[in-house]
């Protein structure tokens, strides 16, 4: 009986281990399938960063120039890309082309991954038979845009970080440090210097506000803060999504101090570069204006493109609309008019874009070189002024303590 029971128990253990071994691969397969389905779903609305799109465009243009068929180019890019979602996008595009669809029709299925400019340039390349050459131009345009965006972001990161740090430091001094000096000066029983008294009054004003903020935050939970922040952000996004909100935001960006001029030049450069690239690639002018409008991201240019399209469809010229629009500077208007008279509008637009690219780089360099010493001087004046104001009564300790 003992032998029988031990054999039965051994069979039961072996069956359980076998079941667990079967269950392990099934669970892993189910997890892999669920992950693949999630990636498939995400690929339908995946927004590809402009830097990744520039790299993809450059690679496919190089492979096409080398003589590889389009399907093999996409297969090679699918194997080497590290983004799992974009790998699925490339796979689906390749599958569509293998079924007989054109490249432009295939990429249209993914409007978030491939922007309007890319799709239109692919259409122009397919129509003209020079897809590789046109994609090389688009890749250069994307790369210059990414490069300029990185420069602007790097120029803005440093001052924002320093200003935020200085604001926090000044508040710490006013709320926590100055009250200690104020209690010490109170025992002197004499009138304090005006800068010192101003800082003490400012500290007395901020401390109740800080205490009320702290008590407010202690009464509510992080969940409430998250919900409130979410609704506030959603309301702001909804307002910006409206025509009035977008126009207000774009006007503010163009007229903003320090960076407004840079934003204006970047918008003009993007307008001219996109217009010249499309016209040179053989895209019809009305379609060009439609693409430029959607690629600009600014209401002023969108409205101007609509006005230009109406004017051109009635037999007018682009320069006539630009001359009556305050968003475009006089130099640009005269150069476009000269390009129209010589039949070289795209060449003039490229020269204007080159000019504003140089201007943008010079502006970014000037801002980077000027902001650093300005911020150092600002911090020195503010923090040094606070320190001097608080130590001024100590320097005059004899007179203050004597009640003079």
Query: Same domain, yes or no, for 81 and 148?
Result: no
> What whole-number distance in Å separates Cα of residue 284 and Cα of residue 309?
11
Are residue 157 and residue 280 in the same domain, yes or no? yes
Between CA 390 and CA 396, with CA 394 as vertex, the angle to 5 degrees is 115
Contacts 24+ apart (CB under 8 A), 262-266: 262/152, 262/360, 262/363, 262/364, 262/367, 265/356, 265/359, 265/360, 265/363, 266/148, 266/152, 266/356, 266/360
DSSP-derived 3-state class of residue 262: helix
Within a domain: 303? yes
Q: Are residues 108 and 151 in the same domain?
A: no
- Put simply, whether the predicted model's pTM sits higher than 0.85 gets the answer no
Burial of 213 (0-12, 13-18, 19+ CB in 10 A): exposed
User: Could you tell me if 94 and 204 lie in one domain?
Assistant: no
Q: Which domain holds residue 254?
A: 143-404
Q: Are residues 163 and 59 in the same domain?
A: no
- As for how many domains the chain has, the answer is 2
Inter-residue contact 382 to 170 (CB < 8 Å): yes
Cβ burial, residue 289 (10 Å; 0-12/13-18/19+)? buried
Tokens of 108: 């249209």
Same domain, yes or no: 90 and 196: no
Residues 147 and 110 in one domain: no
Residue 308 maps to which CATH number?
1.20.81.30
Residues 167 and 281 in one domain: yes
- With a CB cutoff of 8 Å and minimum separation 6, the contacts of 269 are 148, 352, 353, 356, 357, 360
pLDDT of the chain along its 404 residues, tens only? 444 455 545 555 555 555 445 555 677 777 777 777 887 888 888 888 888 989 999 999 999 988 889 999 999 998 888 888 899 999 999 999 999 889 989 998 888 889 888 888 888 888 777 888 888 888 888 888 888 788 777 777 777 787 888 888 887 877 787 887 777 777 666 677 788 888 888 777 777 655 555 555 555 555 555 676 777 778 877 877 787 888 888 888 888 877 788 888 888 888 888 888 888 878 888 888 888 887 777 888 888 889 999 988 888 888 888 888 888 888 888 898 898 888 888 889 889 988 988 888 888 777 777 777 887 888 788 878 887 887 777 776 655 445 44
């Amino acid at each position: 009986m003992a032998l029988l029971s031990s054999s039965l128990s051994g069979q039961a253990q072996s069956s359980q281990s076998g079941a667990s071994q079967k269950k392990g691969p099934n669970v892993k397969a189910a997890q892999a399938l669920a992950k693949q389905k999630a990636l498939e779903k995400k690929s339908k609305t995946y927004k590809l960063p402009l830097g990744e799109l520039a790299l993809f465009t450059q690679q496919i243009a190089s492979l096409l120039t080398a003589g590889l068929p389009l399907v093999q180019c996409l297969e090679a890019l699918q194997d080497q890309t590290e983004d799992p979602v974009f790998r699925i996008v490339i796979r689906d595009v390749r599958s569509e082309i293998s079924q007989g669809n054109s490249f432009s029709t295939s990429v249209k299925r993914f409007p978030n991954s491939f922007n309007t400019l890319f799709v239109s340039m692919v259409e122009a390349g397919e129509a003209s038979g020079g897809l590789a050459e046109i994609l090389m131009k688009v890749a250069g345009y994307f790369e210059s845009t990414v490069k300029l965006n990185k420069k602007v972001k790097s120029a803005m990161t440093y001052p924002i970080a320093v200003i935020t740090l200085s604001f926090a430091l000044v508040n710490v001094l006013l709320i926590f440090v100055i009250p200690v000096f104020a209690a010490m000066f109170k025992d002197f029983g004499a009138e304090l210097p005006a800068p010192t008294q101003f800082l003490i009054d400012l500290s007395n004003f901020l401390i109740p506000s800080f205490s009320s903020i702290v008590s407010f935050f202690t009464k509510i939970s992080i969940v409430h803060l998250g919900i409130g922040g979410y609704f506030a952000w959603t309301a702001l996004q909804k307002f910006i999504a409206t025509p009035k909100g977008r126009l207000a935001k774009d006007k503010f960006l163009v007229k903003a101090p320090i960076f407004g001029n840079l934003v204006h030049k970047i918008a003009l450069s993007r307008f001219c570069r996109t217009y010249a690239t499309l016209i040179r690639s053989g895209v019809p002018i009305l379609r060009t204006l439609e693409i430029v409008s959607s690629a600009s991201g600014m209401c002023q240019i969108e409205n101007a493109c609509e006005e230009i399209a109406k004017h051109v469809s009635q037999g007018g010229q682009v320069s006539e609309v630009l001359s009556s629009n305050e968003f475009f500077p006089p130099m640009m208007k005269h150069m476009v008019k000269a390009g129209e008279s010589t039949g070289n509008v795209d060449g003039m637009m490229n020269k204007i874009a080159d000019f504003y690219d140089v201007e943008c780089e010079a502006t970014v360099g000037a801002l980077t070189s000027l902001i650093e010493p300005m911020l150092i001087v600002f911090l020195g004046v503010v923090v040094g002024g606070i320190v001097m104001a608080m130590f001024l009564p100590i320097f005059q300790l004899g007179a203050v303590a004597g009640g003079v």
